[in-house]
Structure 1
Amino acid sequence: MLFSKIAEHLQRGQHGERLAAGYLRKHGLAILANNVRSRYGEIDLIAQDGDTVVFIEVRTRKAGNQVSAAASITPTKQRKWHNSAADYLQKQFGNNPPPCRFDAVCIEIDGRKADIQWLKGVM
């Protein structure tokens, strides 16, 4: 029972990341990378929006969940997200990083329907 619940959660997260990537592409962003890991944590998606590098946290929830997708981005998660982004920028651009932004894509799934909300500049 425990393993199927974990698998369901992981499958929902992966599905949400695919939905988010497609949604962002339709809105003009170029996806540069996904699931980028550092010693601080993981960045779900990294995209390019014009000259800006966008670090995207994807939160996927079943409809009716007690905690909304946006509310689930805790201060601890924000700190890990920021540190992972700083690590990525340093490795990719050295001391000359481009402008960057932190966005969240919050997805509520109700059966086969997905409600997607893109929050720009959340941090």
Structure 2
Amino acid sequence: MNGLGAAAEQRAADFIVAQGLKLITRNWRCRFGEIDLIAKDGKTLIFIEVRSRSSPNFGGAASSIQRSKQEKLIRTAQLYLQTLSPLPPCRFDAICIDGDDLVWLKDCIQAN
């Protein structure tokens, strides 16, 4: 990960902790991919994708989470969930950083 990506992840981690979430782990990897941040909001487990762009030009950070990336995140989260018992309620969030602007998109990816 480059310096800008690491800085964006750190900013996102600091932000969610300031919002009252408990950070469980960062950069959880498996054969399907990586989840940037995993946190808990009460009893809900949250898988968080962090996206950063220097500016909102060309669609910005949120538009960069294509369907193929969403599917990879879902498969990765399913593998992570196999390590837990009982299964907690879950959701997928994204923290999108465009320049200085940070937007927290809650429950933005659906695992039909």
TM interval, short-chain normalised: over 0.9
State the aligned residue count.
109
Q: What is the DSSP-based 3-state SS (H/G/I as helix, E as strand, rest coil) of the residue aligned with 1:120?
A: strand
Q: What is the DSSP-based 3-state SS (H/G/I as helix, E as strand, rest coil) of the residue aligned with 1:19?
A: helix
Q: Who is 2:16 aligned against? A: 24
1:1-123 mapped onto 2 (5 Å cutoff): 10-91=2-83, 93-94=84-85, 96-109=86-99, 114-123=100-109
Q: Offset at 1:32? A: 0.4
Distance of 1:101 and 1:28 partners within structure 2: 16
Superposition RMSD in Å: 1.2
Q: Offset at 1:67? A: 2.7
For structure 1, the residue ranges without an aligned partner over 5 or more in a row are: 1-8
Q: What is the DSSP-based 3-state SS (H/G/I as helix, E as strand, rest coil) of the residue aligned with 1:121?
A: strand
Q: Offset at 1:105? A: 0.1
Q: Report the CA distance shift for 1:63/1:41 in structure 2 as closer, same or farther (over 3 A).
A: same
For structure 2, the residue ranges without an aligned partner over 5 or more in a row are: none
Q: Offset at 1:46? A: 0.2
Structure with higher Rg: it is 1
Give runs of ≥4 in structure 1 deviating > 4 Å. none
Q: Offset at 1:64? A: 4.2
Q: Which amino acid aligns with 1:58?
A: V
Task: Give the structure-1-normalised TM-score.
Answer: 0.85
Task: Give the structure-2-normalised TM-score.
Answer: 0.93
